[in-house]
Amino acid sequence: MGTPQGDHLGPYRLLSRLGAGGFGEVHLALDPEGRTVAVKVLHPHVAADTRALARLAREVEAMRRVRGRHIAEVLDASLDGRSPYLVTRYIQGRPLNAVVAVEGPVHGEELVRLARGLSEALMAIHESGVIHRDLKPSNVILADGEPVVIDFGIAAVVDSASVTASGAVLGTPGYLAPEVLEGQETRTEGDIFAFAATLAFAATGREPYGTGSVAAIGYRVVHHEPDLEGVPDWLAAVLRDCLAPDPAARPTAGEIHGRLPGVVGAAGPPPPKPRSDTFSRARIPVAPPAPAAGPAYAEPPPARSKADPLPPPVSGSGGDVHSLSTREWRPGQPDPRPPAEVAMRRRRARVRLIWIIGTGVVAALGAAAARSALPEVSLLLLAAYGSGVAIDAAVGLFARKDVGRALLSAGSGVGAVALFFLLSSIFSTFTLALAFATVIVVLVVLVVAG
């Protein structure tokens, strides 16, 4: 398959690696318009399976039509290159399993909000003709208290025999329905089972079918009742129906949503409205898809004026990275912070400027101090610094196409030579040697302190 070239993959600039799963590696990226997206690059054993890619390609067009405030929409796809990938809306938040691990089980209105949000997500997915196939706590992101489902539909590739043989994960034990474990095809009823298992975990903090080996958990799923102790009564009845061994006995996502209580005093954001954007293409080399409207983002909340301060982050109860809360930027919202790549570029430029000027001053001072007693050392210092800035200028001019960098490097070299002659003509050798020794001592102290 090959890896993405440099820090780009197609039109997307990769910023950082977010994680990896059974099907691919996820990167935080910027689209051509500077918006944050999540890019999932498929693993080599998946990309090498033409049958798997063909099946995924058939589902991508349906996946792109799935929209909702509780869905990380599929925005783009490229399945015909050396590095096949999918692009989805990036959700800033924490996975449900991480939230439960740090803060404990979900209770009260937060549990109601979670249940309603997941049921709405499944309604949107199933009404578009897509099956999630791998719903579990780690595929549910909590953003500002609302659940958002990620990675829906991509698990279609596991039905390819060669991908399965290559080691792709078929699913998570305890969240796969009994009929799936027995070899039947995954249908919407399997998502309902996974929905209930996910909510049971959220409400109790325990796996509904316990822990242990894959075989042991699978046996309990098929032959034992789930552990629902501690689940509120209003939810327990719904979960028992959803976890029924017979798929035909399970309710649909719409029926589940109708049985859940409402969220008190929280109307939630308005429903999403489709709008066209730059993601109207799908570079998929299978049968030409019928023209379809471009995917849409979930409708953003009203834009905040520049005078309004950002809301303060909510502190978590844990002491590690999972306890941190984040805010999601959505298209249409002003973001007072520069993009991550811009901030990093500015920081690199400042560090490089300080380094080039600082080393030039030290080299000129050392060369001036050694001019009388050790002329060879003086020449060596100037030559070493001059060679370094010349190489840096060449890299900036020819490799980076950065004329400003090249001019700065060349100017620093000329300035170091001029400073050498100026210091030599004004100060005595003893004074220059004392100054040079002082600078070296200060630098050593700074390095040790750092």
- Res. 293: pLDDT tops 60: no
Which residues pair with residue 74 across a beta bridge?
88
The average pLDDT across 96-119 equals 95
Q: How buried is residue 316: exposed, middle or buried, by Cβ count under 10 Å (0-12/13-18/19+)?
A: middle
**243 and 386: one domain?**
no
CATH number of the CATH domain containing 205: 1.10.510.10
What's the pLDDT at 229? 95
Q: Residues comprising the binding site for ATP?
A: 40
- Res. 1: pLDDT tops 50: no
In-domain check, residue 83: yes
The average pLDDT across 105-111 equals 95
In-domain check, residue 333: no
Q: Which of 17-21, 77-81, 203-207, 413-417 has the highest mean pLDDT?
A: 203-207
The average pLDDT across 108-134 equals 92
Residues 6 or more apart from 426 whose CB is under 8 A from it?
none
Mean model confidence pLDDT for the chain: 78
Domain boundary among 239, 267, 295: 267
What's the pLDDT at 79? 81
pTM of the model: 0.56
76 among known catalytic residues? no
**259 and 344: one domain?**
no
pLDDT confidence band for 54 (50 / 70 / 90)? confident
Q: Which is higher by pLDDT, 342 or 130?
A: 130
Q: Among 213-217, 328-332, 355-359, 409-413, which is the least confidently predicted range?
A: 328-332
- Rounded Cα distance between 346 and 365, Å, is 29
Q: What backbone phi and psi angles, to 5 degrees, belong to 232?
A: -55, 150
**53 and 149: one domain?**
yes
Question: CB–CB of 282/77 below 8 Å?
Answer: yes
Q: If you search the block for the tokens 């009845």, which residue do you land on?
A: 237
Please tell me the total number of residues recorded for the chain in this structure.
450
Q: Which of 17-21, 242-246, 351-355, 412-416 has the highest mean pLDDT?
A: 242-246
- Rounded Cα distance between 35 and 19, Å, is 20
What's the pLDDT at 99? 95
**37 and 157: one domain?**
yes
Domain boundary among 267, 300, 318: 267
Q: If you search the block for the tokens 């996820």, which residue do you land on?
A: 26
What's the pLDDT at 82? 80
**23 and 166: one domain?**
yes
**213 and 346: one domain?**
no
The average pLDDT across 425-446 equals 87
Q: Which is higher by pLDDT, 340 or 212?
A: 212
Question: What are the tokens at 74?
Answer: 């599929």
Among 191, 203, 209, CA closest to 235: 203
Q: Which is higher by pLDDT, 101 or 303?
A: 101
What's the pLDDT at 170? 55
Domain boundary among 267, 300, 319: 267
Q: What backbone phi and psi angles, to 5 degrees, belong to 17?
A: -85, 125
User: Residues 193-210: pLDDT tens digits?
Assistant: 999 999 999 999 999 999
- Work out the angle at residue 279's Cα, subtended by the Cα atoms of residues 188 and 401, and round it to the nearest 5 degrees: 135
**368 and 259: one domain?**
no
Q: Among 19-28, 101-110, 248-257, 370-379, which is the least confidently predicted range?
A: 19-28
**Catalytic-labelled residue, pool 31, 76, 134, 151:** 134
The average pLDDT across 368-390 equals 86
- Res. 424: pLDDT tops 90: no
- Res. 341: pLDDT tops 80: no
Query: How many structural domains are present in the chain?
Result: 2
Give the ranges where 155-309 is alpha helix by DSSP (H): 161-165, 178-181, 188-204, 214-223, 233-242, 253-259
Domain span at residue 233?
8-267
DSSP category for residue 23:
S
In-domain check, residue 305: no
**229 and 356: one domain?**
no
Read off the amino acid at residue 315: S
In-domain check, residue 132: yes
pLDDT confidence band for 305 (50 / 70 / 90)? very low
What's the pLDDT at 450? 61
In-domain check, residue 329: no
In-domain check, residue 322: no
- The CA distances from residue 394 to 127, 237, 361, 399, in Å, are 58, 71, 21, 8
pLDDT confidence band for 159 (50 / 70 / 90)? very low
In-domain check, residue 321: no
What's the pLDDT at 46? 75
In-domain check, residue 149: yes
What's the pLDDT at 155? 57
The average pLDDT across 387-391 equals 87
Report the percentage of the chain scoring pLDDT > 70: 76
**357 and 237: one domain?**
no
What's the pLDDT at 286? 38
Question: CB–CB of 294/77 below 8 Å?
Answer: no
Q: Which is higher by pLDDT, 97 or 171?
A: 97
Among 267, 269, 289, CA closest to 280: 289
